[in-house]
Amino acid sequence: MAVGHHSDVCRNAGNSDLADASRTKDTKIARGSWLQADPETRRKKRVARYKVFTVERKVKESVRSGCRWIKNKYIEVRYGWF
């Protein structure tokens, strides 16, 4: 029973290597098609990236502002400036 299981595992491992190779090939094809996509699609993707950058900037700003507020509150409480 253990021998049969071992051979199945080896057989499946070999198939996954082939699947990985075909996925790599598909990825390369997808990248190539991206370069040939129409300008409108490229523009939409570029604008989406800009929106992500904007959200990241706002999150960082918010975290910095919150940390600054906590620090200022600590100083006020610690040194009695309230």
Q: For 32-79, how does the pLDDT look when each residue is reduced to its tens digit (9 = 90+)? A: 555 567 999 999 999 999 999 999 999 999 999 999 999 999 999 999
28 and 59 assigned to the same domain: no
Is 15's pLDDT higher than 60? no
DSSP summary character for residue 19: H
**CA–CA separation, 1 and 64 (whole Å):** 61
Q: Which residues form the domain of 68? A: 38-82
Residue 80: the pLDDT is 83
* pLDDT beyond 50 at 19: yes
Domain co-membership, 42 together with 59? yes
For residue 81, what are the CA distances in angstroms to 26, 57, 61, 64? 64, 32, 26, 22
Tell me: do 55 and 72 sit in the same domain: yes
User: Is 24 found in the same domain as 59?
Assistant: no
d(CA 57, CA 53): 6
Q: H or E element: which one contains 62?
A: helix 39-79
Same domain, 29 and 67: no
Rounded to two decimals, what is the model's pTM?
0.47
Predicted pLDDT at 1: 47
Based on the fold, state whether residues 43 and 82 are members of the same structural domain. yes
